[in-house]
Amino acid sequence: MHTSTEIPEVAVDGQVARTIAILGAGGDLTERFLLPGIARVVDASPGVEVHIVGAARTAQSRDEWRGVVERSLEGAGVSRSTIDALVSRSEFVQTDASSADELRALLQACPSAPLLYIALPPAMGKKVAAALAELELPEDLRIAIEKPFGESEADARELNRALAAVIPEDRLWRIDHFLGTPAAVELIR
């Protein structure tokens, strides 16, 4: 992965459509880091169309979620057209991340190739993996999970095994809390 903040050329060329479904979308880090990182990639990449589906256990209306997205992006240093496009392509789906049925509904709500971004407490990682194991997953699904990965090294290894059982390694990312632009590029393309 690149360590600079430059947008790699591969993310700029060609049309890319991806839906980022954020489990734990009500968290502070989603608003402060994840959404602005995504917006910076979209702003610099005219061939990238991103839809954002917020998902959390606590209900929000579409308008409430779109308000969160807009407030987050207004301080991200991106164009008004990028803000308007991302806000208009944002939805919210109330989701219990440990429920296979609710994860199925969330994935079905994604209008383009889904990226399931797991921004949940460590104890939830294995529950999400177990629920996903019950589903027939889209072939183009990618999964990103934020650290910490479990509560101990043994927990992290168990979580890795559980995730490996549901998705190939080349479609799985383990992300630091701060999602910088290079990481966002890799997730979207």
Give the SS3 label for residue 146: strand
- If the chain, 189 residues long, is cut into consecutive pieces of 10 residues, what is the mean pLDDT of each piece? 35 70 91 90 86 96 97 93 96 97 97 93 92 95 87 89 94 72 56
Other CB atoms within 10 Å distance of the CB of residue 131 = 20
Taking the model in full, what pTM does it have? 0.86
| Phi, psi (rounded to 5 degrees) for 162 | -65, -40
